[in-house]
Amino acid sequence: MPRILVVDDDPMVRDVLTRVLKVQGYAVEQVGGVDEALDLCYRDGEVDLVISDIHMPGRDGVALLAELRMRYPDTAVLMLTGDDDVGLAVECLKKGAMDYLAKPVQIQEVRARVEKAIEEQQQRIELRQLRDGYQAELEGRVLQLSQRNKEMFLAQVQMAVRMLEAKDVYTRGHSARVAEYAVLTGRQLGLGRAVLDDLRLGGDLHDIGKIGTRDAVLNKPGRLTDEEFTEMKRHVTDGEEMLGVLRADHPEVLHIVRWHHERIDGSGFPDGLIGAQIPLSARIVGVVDAFDAMTSTRAYRVEQSLEYAFGELERGKGRQFDADVVDAFVLAFPNRSAATLRH
């Protein structure tokens, strides 16, 4: 049953309106001023319709209208005006009143206007709910879509990594092993789930920029010339650029791609960062990348024994490698047997 609140300082007017509307089947309450009206809405929840006199001692009907619009947008407001107040009534319509009734009130007119106001208000509420629902659904779909886009993008770059490895027989499986070793090391260091996920992705994608490196440089047996070395070094910044869309959600992945060739003593590339300036995730991938490079056959040399590689990591502590990361990797390395991971 729709609830109506009648606000008028004249008890006669209130009583007449209350009786007429109750007969019509509404739940009607009445108060003599603005503050009591607001108290009642606050206490009992908003009503469907407020019928308010304009002129009242203290705060007037215009003030009540403003408060109601602000606090209870779903409440419809009808203004009661004297014959000489039409201008003011029109002002109230502009400020959000739904209609006005001229005093002295005519019973038939009250019934018709109130019914119409309540109906219209219901329609407005339904329309708004529909719109809100549609809005929420739309936002949900956009979110889903951007998630799908991201997944598709990742699937594509991962495919690019596989293609990159396919054209270089020596690096087959390298990215997957680096990802695996990086996660094992991160776990050993007690890193959280989100960082571990980024380590896996960053490990997998760390060399993606090599797609732009010429095969002759990539697969060159023997030493690179200065020029070739410069070209090879570019893979870290090229890779970072290629994965730019991940920056917002996975900045750590980009850190790994850009800085996995930095060295603790500042002699790495591309920025010559020193020590803790290099993000931990990039220090981790730096260690496990070097390890996997040593323990798999490359164009420029055959694979080294695990013992030799671990020895190199040990010797490189504090120069090329972060000592804590090396220790964690050595502890985390599965049974010192790379066989299962490498083939």
Binding site for Fe ion (CB under 5 A): 207
Cα 211 to Cα 160: distance, rounded to the nearest angstrom: 8
Which residue's CB is nearer to Fe ion, number 31 or number 183?
183
Q: Taking a C-beta distance cutoff of 8 angstroms, is the pair 34, 7 a contact?
A: yes
Q: Which helix (H) or strand (E) holds 208?
A: none
Cα 282 to Cα 215: distance, rounded to the nearest angstrom: 26
Which residue's CB is nearer to Fe ion, number 165 or number 207?
207
Residue 138 beta carbon to Fe ion: minimum distance, rounded to whole angstroms? 42
Q: Taking a C-beta distance cutoff of 8 angstroms, is the pair 99, 61 a contact?
A: no
Q: Taking a C-beta distance cutoff of 8 angstroms, is the pair 204, 161 a contact?
A: yes
Residue 257 beta carbon to Fe ion: minimum distance, rounded to whole angstroms? 8
Out of 22, 103, 116, 210, pick the active-site residue.
210
Residue 224 beta carbon to Fe ion: minimum distance, rounded to whole angstroms? 13
Q: Taking a C-beta distance cutoff of 8 angstroms, is the pair 57, 14 a contact?
A: no
Place of tokens 């993008």: 153
Which residue's CB is nearer to Fe ion, number 19 or number 301?
301
Q: Name, in order, each residue with C-beta under 8 angstroms of 166's C-beta and a sequence gap of 6 or more.
A: 172
Which residue's CB is nearer to Fe ion, number 207 or number 262?
207
Cα 340 to Cα 200: distance, rounded to the nearest angstrom: 18
Does residue 11 have a cis peptide bond before it, meaning omega lies within 30 degrees of 0? no
Q: Name, in order, each residue with C-beta under 8 angstroms of 64's C-beta and a sequence gap of 6 or more.
A: 7, 34, 37, 38, 50, 52, 77
103 as an active site residue: the answer is no
Residue 263 beta carbon to Fe ion: minimum distance, rounded to whole angstroms? 13
Which residue's CB is nearer to Fe ion, number 47 or number 161?
161
Tokens standing for 109?
A: 């007119």
Residue 272 beta carbon to Fe ion: minimum distance, rounded to whole angstroms? 16
* Residues with active-site annotation: 210
